[in-house]
Structure 1
Amino acid sequence: MDSGSIIIYLLLVSFVSPIYSFKTSSYQLENQTFQIEKFHKLKKTIKNRLQQINKPPIKTIQSSDGDIVDCVSVKREETNALSLGIQIILSIPGSVCDNHQVWSLYGESCPEESIPIGRTKEQDILRAGSISKFGRKLNQIKMDSNTIEHEHSIGYVTGNYKGAKADINVWVPNVEIEGEFSLAQIWILSDPFGDDRNTIEAGWQVFPQLYGDNRPRLFIYWTADGYKNTGCYNLLCPGFVQTNKNVVIGGTITPTSTYNGGQFEITLLIWKDQDNGNWWFGYGTEIVGYWPSSLFTQFNDNAHAIQFGGEIVNSKSKGSHTSTQMGSGHFAEENYGKAAYFKYLQVVKSDNSFHPLSEDPKYIANKPNCYNIKGGSSKDWGKYFFYGGPGRNENCP
């Protein structure tokens, strides 16, 4: 149910009841009073949640994409928390972009010792249909053919790792309904199959329910218990500590790739700080912030799997497979300029340095007639793969 429907429903239930005579029964009055109280309680709960998420700004920026960006003060020690080793690693050449986000296109910026945070609004929570579900990944495990499915086209490696990096081109895939999403990301995992796995995730996504539009946005995610009770998107719960004043996590990315036209890439990096165990996130040449080591239970020394690739949600809302696209909406065989890709796949090993993948990753596409993947290797791109697809088609009913 979208936000408009929820509000209309609440108002109707709260304030409208059929009256067939001038004598309204006590039951009707009691029920109407109960619904009004329920409505006001919901409004109060949402208001309290918004106060938890949105911090008092020292400056507010109205972005041309409709977002409101609040510049929020942070402590000096947080902005200076980066160890020297990480600064050196993240300053090496090779990042594709600095920061291409809509909110800062016209020279807007936040003051020193502040960070930009996209403001969460009441309708954002209402779209989720539940305060407890807002900002969280749910339904990660496919239970049977009638439940919501998360479908992937990924390349992965297993071993002992302390980070990963890749260049990813950005698209605007069509998403069939509000509650579905399409994304491209890097996963850092303690165990790819464990029920209580720890994950750190970063990428771009189109997710109308979370953001209220169909634009590709930079996002992060974490969980310490297999998506059960911990973790969230972006800065929607305590966890990730942002230290950068130039990047809005959840902000719109621009420009984007076009079919048979220009290709636009972003560089994403996740890296474990050997001094304190924190996991840092880099976007282009910007060092955005970190996930404190205390969040996790299974990342004491290393991650044990790295995944790169695409994911969509298939809710089967029309009784068939979703038409939500992955990547460009075209299959991997169409290659450069037409299909989405990851290139120059790298991992951080025990020597605390980046290494291009020396062996081909293993590839999985759990619905290859809907979305597929094809890997390769070259001097310019290192290990790479094309991935994606249109979703519902004659071979993917």
Structure 2
Amino acid sequence: MRKAKTNNTGFGYLWENGVGCPIGTVPIRRVTKDDLLSLNSLDDDKYKPRGSWSTNFNDSNNPVHNDQYHYAVGRTNNTGIHYHGATMDLCITAPGVKPKQFSHSRLHIQLGNDYVQIGLAVNPVLYGDVLPRTFVYTHAGGKSCYNSHCDVGMILVRRDVPLGMPFKPVSIRGSSESHYVIFGLIKDQANGNWWLQLGDDAEEIGFWPAQRFPQSFGNKVEWGGEVFSANQPSPEMGYGFLPAASVVYDAYVKRIAILDDNFHFDQQVYHLEEFSDNIQGYGVIDSLEFKDPEEGHIIYFGGPGNI
């Protein structure tokens, strides 16, 4: 298995100039008139990501679903543990979506009534195309937004990694090479700030100040796919196929880990449950097998949707 193209000294390869913004500045994706119209539509409750805990529907014999969101995730099922971070190696896929739909592959940490998501999104409403792009979503204090588009959004500190940049190459189902990117959402033990980390060397891309979240720890974590459709049947997730527990044929999140109460990394993460709200359209397989130490704990997910 080959990693997604990363650069331990920076992410300049994401830019045409191979470098990024001038020193002393940070990248801000240019917002056009059309972008503003799209962002305005995001003010509605539609298009706003959420956790799978917002639904308890799980009836494969009844495809009718009043909600427009669907999930296939591995999620923590315990109570009483304080999470101070989580990490993942996320397979880069480009699921098929239509306008007014999205398909996200992400890590979600719930902090009481607030939450943060990080990962890759195919989201035409947000980005105007169907490329897999990095995204961050913040819900805090009754406000919410993607990336840094509001005052509760992430504060970007890296000049060479703008949020919303496409990641490539994209993995091809059945290929002997699979591409992934490493994400981490980690709380700083010294000051309580939450940091977005990206790449092999856990480069710190941006942060949320500690005071942004009334609750200082996470109480739930989940890894996997989330889709939304405004009107049409639901879009693809991952490769667009139900999983079969194979890194060659499935979208996956591997080497998942959590930072526990004592700020120690737990790479086993035994306390997980599989959750798909409609197994006709989306599936998830949680594998705790460690046949290859490099792979770690893997969650396979995906599906054709159309429900």
TM-score when normalising by structure 2: 0.84
Q: Is the 8 A contact 2:92 2:180 kept in 1?
A: yes
Separation in structure 1 between the aligned mates of residue 243 and residue 164 of structure 2, nearest angstrom: 27
Structure 1 position 181 matched with structure 2 position 97: no
Aligned 1:308-323 pairs, distance under 5 A: 308-317=223-232, 321-322=233-234
Aligned-partner SS, 2:244: helix
1:367 aligns with 2:292: no
**Equivalent-residue separation in structure 1 for 2:155 and 2:120 (angstroms):** 19
The equivalent position to 1:384 in structure 2, one of 283, 298, 301, is 298
1:244 pairs with one of 134, 155, 158: 158
Note the 1:322-341 alignment, pairs <5 A.
322=234, 324-333=235-244, 335-341=246-252
Q: Kindly indicate whether the alpha-carbon contact (under 8 Å) linking 1:100 and 1:255 is maintained by their aligned counterparts in 2.
A: no
> Using a 3 Å threshold, how does the CA distance of structure 1 residues 134 and 188 change in structure 2: closer, same or farther?
closer
- Tell me if the contact between 1:101 and 1:254 (Cα under 8 Å) persists in the aligned partners: no
List gaps (5 residues or longer) in structure 2: 58-63
Cα distance per residue 1:165-218 (max 9 Å; x no partner): 01011111000x311100111111124xxxxx1101100000001110000000
Structure 1 spans left out of the alignment, 5+ residues:
1-93, 192-196
Structure-2 change in CA distance of 1:202 and 1:131 (3 Å): closer
Structure 1 match to 2:60? none
Per-residue CA deviation, residues 50-77 of structure 1 (Å, 9 max, x unaligned), is xxxxxxxxxxxxxxxxxxxxxxxxxxxx
Aligned position for 1:276: 191
| 1:1-397 superposed matches below 5 A | 97-98=6-7, 103-128=14-39, 130=41, 132-133=43-44, 137=48, 147-157=66-76, 158=78, 159-175=81-97, 177-191=98-112, 197-225=113-141, 229-239=142-152, 240-261=154-175, 262-284=177-199, 285=201, 286-298=203-215, 300=216, 302-317=217-232, 321-322=233-234, 324-333=235-244, 335-359=246-270, 361-376=272-287, 377-378=289-290, 379-392=293-306, 396=307
Kindly report the root-mean-square deviation, in angstroms, between the aligned alpha carbons of the 2 structures: 2.7
Instruction: Determine what percentage of the aligned residue pairs are the same residue.
Output: 25
Displacement of 1:133 after TM fit? 4.0
Residue 135 (structure 1) shift? 10
State how far apart, in whole Å, the 1-side matches of 2:45 and 2:191 are.
31
Report Cα offsets for 1:329-349 as digits up to 9, x if no partner. 111116222210011110101
In 1, distance between residues paired with 2:182 and 2:226? 18
Change (3 A) 1:163 1:146: closer
Instruction: State the Cα distance separating 1:315 from its structure 2 match.
Output: 3.0
Paired residues of 1:139 and 1:149 also in contact (CA < 8 A) = no
Q: Which moved more, 1:124-133 or 1:376-385?
A: 124-133
- CA shift, 1:142, in A, is 6.3
Task: Give the distance between the partners of 2:71 and 2:65, measured in 1 at CA.
Answer: 18
Question: What is the TM-score when the length of structure 1 is the normalising length?
Answer: 0.66
Shift of 1:221: 0.9
- Give the C-alpha shift of residue 360 in structure 1: 5.1
Secondary structure, counterpart of 2:37 in structure 1? helix
Q: Distance in 1 between matches of 2:40 and 2:155?
A: 27
8 A contact 1:125–1:131 mirrored in 2: no
Structure 1 residue 358, shift from structure 2 partner: 4.3
SS in 2 for 1:333: coil
Deviation, 1:128, is 4.9
* 1:381, distance to aligned residue in structure 2 (A): 1.6
Structure with greater Cα Rg: 1
Quick one: distance in 1 between partners of 2:96 and 2:219?
33
Q: What is the identity, as a one-letter code, of the residue corresponding to 2:70?
A: E
CA–CA separation in structure 2 for the residues paired with 1:341 and 1:131? 28
Tell me if structure 1 keeps the 8 A contact 2:101–2:228. Answer: yes
Contact 2:28 2:162 (C-alpha < 8 Å) held by counterparts: yes
Structure 2 distance, partners of 1:142, 1:315, is 17
Whose helix fraction is larger, Structure 1's or Structure 2's?
1
Q: Distance in 2 between matches of 1:138 and 1:188?
A: 12
Amino acid in structure 1 at the alignment position of 2:143:
T
Please state how far the C-alpha of 1:273 moved relative to its aligned partner: 0.8
Tell which has more relative contact order, 1 or 2 (C-alpha 8 A, sep 6+): 2
1:258 deviation in Å? 0.7
CA distance in 2, matches of 1:293, 1:223: 14
Counterpart code for 2:139: T
Corresponding residue of 1:55: none
